[in-house]
Structure formats: C-alpha cells, structure tokens
Structure 1
C-alpha cells in the first residue's frame, strides 16, 4: 500500500538573513561550559552573558541598539565568579535575576533607558546554595518568587522581597540538575537530571508527583 505524504503549504517559504546593522556584533559571549542559552530577552531589553575578568558579567542592551557593540559598553558585573544563567522577571521588564559560580543569586534593577554606567550593586543577594548556581527561573504568576538550582542538587524557591527561601527541595535529586521549568500557573515544576530522569514536583507539598525514565538525557 503506497503511503501518501501531504506536501507542506510552507514549501515555498524561504527565510531571509537580516542585514549587519540589524544584528548585535562584536559581543564576547561567555565561554563558560554550562548548558545555558547565555541570553534572555523581554519586550525592552536583551541580556547576554559575556566574558569578564575578575568575576562575572552580562550585557543589557535595548532592543533598538543594534550593530557593533563597543568593548567599553557598561555591564552588570557584581558577581565574583562567572555568570551561568539569567532570567527576566515576567512582571517587571526592568528586573533580571542572575546565578553564578560564586554560589549566589542576584536580582538587578535596570534603569529605564538601559545602562549608562556599569551596574555593580544588586537589589538583593540570595545566599543559600553551597555550590555554583546554574539555573534561575521566575515564577510565572506570583510576584517576587524566584527559583534557583545549583550543583548542590538543591532547588530553592525564594521570596525576593525578604531575601529568604520560601521552600527548599533538598532530597529530590541525587545527581546534578540540568534544567527546571514551571508549568503555566506555577503550581508544579519539571526537572531533568544527570540520572536520566524527568521529575514533576509539587513544591508546596514538597513531593515528587511523577518520574519519567529516559535514556537520552
């Protein structure tokens, strides 16, 4: 029996590369070996983790500022170790969180028109991890709630307003956490780990709802 494959209605659609003056050029993207996108974007800014001497830093560029970026362009540079992950707050386009090899999470307030000078003082420093922090993720619906995960295999959910952890998930993972994602309303989180398992966790009950085994993580 002959199988009929329907042709795609997009078969005549072709992409077109943007011009150089519409791109961001000459940015020294970080070469730290971590499974991260190294960038984050919201309706006003794009943030990019960059190489920095003596600590960690990331650029914050207004979306309209394209072309070649000056090497002296101001950065957000308060961490003492390389920045591993960044995430914009979904409730405020001027607030961004960063996790670092220095075992801390920092929350930053970006000025209305972007950076004119390098930013070294965070709004709050969140300290609770014993090893480097590779994942930060804001709660999708609740304000001032931020998740962080580190190489200590611990997930912390913070009240950013007080700087204190609301929930500590310490016994959910025996090996390194690769990624964490909230569901749409923030009632559950999903994690992948070095042990090749995907876990669905209820953070309020502090229990694992489901575990999926996979051989290709």
Structure 2
C-alpha cells in the first residue's frame, strides 16, 4: 500500500479521527495521555500538504479526549468530548483556550456529533446515561435524553434534524424523535435489542443455512447511519460482529451480520460514496472494509425462511500495532480515502481501493 500517509502523536493515544466537512486536506484527532486512564488530552488539527502531514494547530486539555466533531457552521471550530464530562468547543483561529465549555454530564463524555441538517446544534453522550443536545452559543443544554445506562455513541440522523440515535452498554439501539411530546417517554420512539432473536414464528436463515437465533447481549460501542438509506443503521461492539438494522422494522432483527473481527469493534462508519460500503476499527488492531450485501440480490427465500445477509469483507488494513480506535472517510476526492487511528500513537491515511479484493 504505497499511498499510505502517516503521522505520529508521541505521548498521546488517539481515540477518534474526523475529516473536515469543508476541506479534503484537513482533519483532527482526539487523543489522551496514558491511554485515557489518567492524565491530559490533546487535539491535533492536521493539514495534508505536499510535504506530508503537518500540525496546523494543537489544543491541550486537562483531561482525556474521547471523541470530536467538526462544526457544520464554522469551518474553524470543533467540539471535543472530555473525560471530566465536559464538551469543549475550540476555534483554530483563537489561541489555546476553548471558546466555549459545556459541563453538565456527571461522568465521561464519550461521543459528540454535529447536526448535519439544521447545523445549529450538536449532541454529546456520556457514561452517565444521558444524551444532551446543545447550541454552540448557549452554555446550558437545550434537551437531555435519558438513556439510563452508559451511552457510548449518539448521532443525529443524516436526513432528519429531529431524530437522534444512541447505543449503550445494555445492548440496545434507541431512536428518539424530538418532535414528540417530552411527556411521551422523553421523545423515545424505538428500542431495538441488538442481540435479540427476530420476532416471528420462524427464525431467519444465514447464508450458510444456519438460523439466526440472536446472541448473548453485549455492550454496543459504536453505530452509524447509512448515508443513502436513512432508515438503516449499523452497530458494532464487544461481541465482534457488525449488524445492520432497518429502524422501520425494529422487531425483524438484523438485515445483515458481518463477522470477521477477532476482538471488539470500537468504531464504524458508512461510506459517504457508496450505499453498501462501511469501514470498522477494532481492538484486534485491524481496520476492515465491508459490503453489507445490499447491492447484491438475495437468493429467493420462502417467506417462512427469511434471510439475513452475511455481507462481504472487502479488505483488511493491518498496519496498526495497537488497538484501532477511530476511523473516518474523506468526503471528497475519488471516494476511497480513509483515516484511521490507534493506541500505537499513529494516524494513518490510506486509500480503501487498494484493499479491495
């Protein structure tokens, strides 16, 4: 893979990487000293230049950093999720200190996500069991969604600014609709038990002929919305499997089950360029590119034997030498550039096309 670019974050272990939604040559990395167990954090804002990857700006924090999200309204701003429960907003055009700090979470803030439609809000999720929605111009949250258990990942829908998803330690994928009255379950509209057997008289079959009878519940660490089919969400977590679900049919079980990782799936991201492609980073030190199988016709199955797709592993990037913790697609260019980070203090940029079998 000759086209791989590398940047090192000495003394800091990356947790997340995000490409700028404005520039194909800018990305940011959220890192923590001592693997995020104790110590401070650092944001690296990186520029891709003709001479390689250069530091554009660095911001230090007093606590570990676990995630970040670029602002959708200001090309120089990004929000970071901190181990002290705060979410900080940094501006590349301002010196060392955050321009805003939002501090309501009672435990580690573990994910942040900017609303891609209205662009005027962002959210955070925390180990305290809540998702909070913020305005970048207000110090107090606009809304708190109680999940009730450690919430590793939350996200806005890519097409509807009122719909929020969250995955958590209790093995559930939750969907909230902010248009519903708060008195109705705090906007909660759908709960999908990720590991449950599908409802129905007959269990669906996997492509190898076995029936899918569900799995032992395990923590869900990551999820993402499909950018082309706005009712499909992929999940990943401790049981090593990626699953895709259609939130319109919460009882029908997974659309696809993707197996291959040897340890927990830490982060995944659907491609912005192809409806059936996603990438995942795992504690097995690999980053894998998949097709969920949705572009291939299903072999006809009688209705009493519905099928689950197995998808296809398109390739493996195994250059990380520690846990692979973050991955993101570049929105621009030929459609294959991926950034991945790991606890090996490395940021790797590579073209997924070079992996495809």
Task: Provide the TM-score with structure 2 as the length reference.
Answer: 0.45
Secondary structure of 1:67's counterpart equals coil
User: Aligned partners of 2:176 and 2:145: how far apart in 1?
Assistant: 12
Alignment gaps of 5+ in structure 2: 1-135, 196-216, 297-310
Displacement of 1:46 after TM fit?
A: 0.8
Structure 2 counterpart of 1:201? 350
CA RMSD of aligned residues (A): 2.9
Displacement of 1:204 after TM fit?
A: 1.8
Q: 1:28-87 deviations in whole A, cap 9, x for unaligned?
A: 1426xxxx5x101113321112342xxx11211223135256399641112321100010
Displacement of 1:92 after TM fit?
A: 1.4
Is residue 82 from structure 1 mapped to residue 230 from structure 2 by the alignment? no
Contact 1:28 1:51 in 2 (8 A): no
Structure 2 counterpart of 1:6? none
Displacement of 1:120 after TM fit?
A: 6.0
Secondary structure of 1:204's counterpart equals helix
CA 1:73–1:128: 2 relative to 1, 3 Å = same
Secondary structure of 2:336's counterpart equals coil
Structure 2 counterpart of 1:28? 148
Structure 2 counterpart of 1:10? none
CA 1:14–1:128: 2 relative to 1, 3 Å = closer
User: Aligned partners of 2:137 and 2:281: how far apart in 1?
Assistant: 40
CA 1:174–1:60: 2 relative to 1, 3 Å = same
Q: How does 1:23-172 map to 2 (within 5 A)?
A: 23-30=143-150, 36=152, 38-42=153-157, 43-44=159-160, 45-52=163-170, 56-65=171-180, 67=182, 70=185, 74-79=190-195, 80-111=217-248, 119=251, 121-161=253-293, 163-169=311-317, 171-172=318-319
Displacement of 1:147 after TM fit?
A: 0.8
CA 1:177–1:68: 2 relative to 1, 3 Å = farther
Contact 1:78 1:120 in 2 (8 A): no
Q: 1:117-163 deviations in whole A, cap 9, x for unaligned?
A: x5461111111111111111000111110111111011111111161
Displacement of 1:165 after TM fit?
A: 0.8
Contact 2:173 2:194 in 1 (8 A): no
Return the structure number with greater relative CO, CA threshold 8 A, min gap 6: 2
Secondary structure of 1:75's counterpart equals strand
Structure 1 counterpart of 2:108? none
Displacement of 1:205 after TM fit?
A: 1.8
Task: Provide the TM-score with structure 1 as the length reference.
Answer: 0.72
Displacement of 1:172 after TM fit?
A: 1.2
User: Aligned partners of 2:266 and 2:252: how far apart in 1?
Assistant: 20
Displacement of 1:24 after TM fit?
A: 4.0
